[in-house]
Structure 1
């Protein structure tokens, strides 16, 4: 059984796919950090309101939940989740090129990774050869 070498278009597509995946991961990571900060600030706002006297706790908690500051943060959080969901949907809705239908993408990725490793080895060997010829 012969193994087809990936075409330059397939490699370019895989590069683009890899870059989009990395961008999506960065965006999700920053989203998670910002979401955690928003949740902490909401939690801290509620914790400070609960530290008052026990007779005022239920009134303050109800006021805090109705306050525009807390509601605004929750709305902001919901909007951020919707934006992230839309971005993820756009990422998965990308059409698959016809030339990749029926192609084993995992095998291509393994071959691509092997090419990168071999390229790095060649580059290091070239640098060592150049250093030895200079001295």
Structure 2
């Protein structure tokens, strides 16, 4: 297990994080450039070496109900990778994290394009916007009801 000082040194390698001292010798590290309301990347790093890193926007990490991963037993490389992934996850919009661009055709060979943009899904006929939807399912439903199927 890395010591508090070793973890602190690794976290401080990330210049985009801002250190905030809290009670009982613990520290948080904030990412002020976050595109989301979530700004705390490292939460309650304690002098005993325990602490958490936000991974709520990252797949394949076991998170608690707040989206946090306990870093008590992380190696230096694991900690660096998790922090980099956390910062990246807060730096990219949903469309950048999971881009979608699909062409849908009907029986008359007319094409519509379904794209993920910002926080929603848009359907285009060439350059003209045909519809905006909150979820992929809503957009796909619309296309299917209009007689289109995905290629």
Q: Look at both structures and tell me which one has the larger radius of gyration over its CA atoms.
A: 1
Q: Indicate the structure whose relative CO is greater, using CA pairs within 8 Å and at least 6 residues apart.
A: 1
TM-score, reference length from structure 1: 0.21
Greater fraction strand: 2
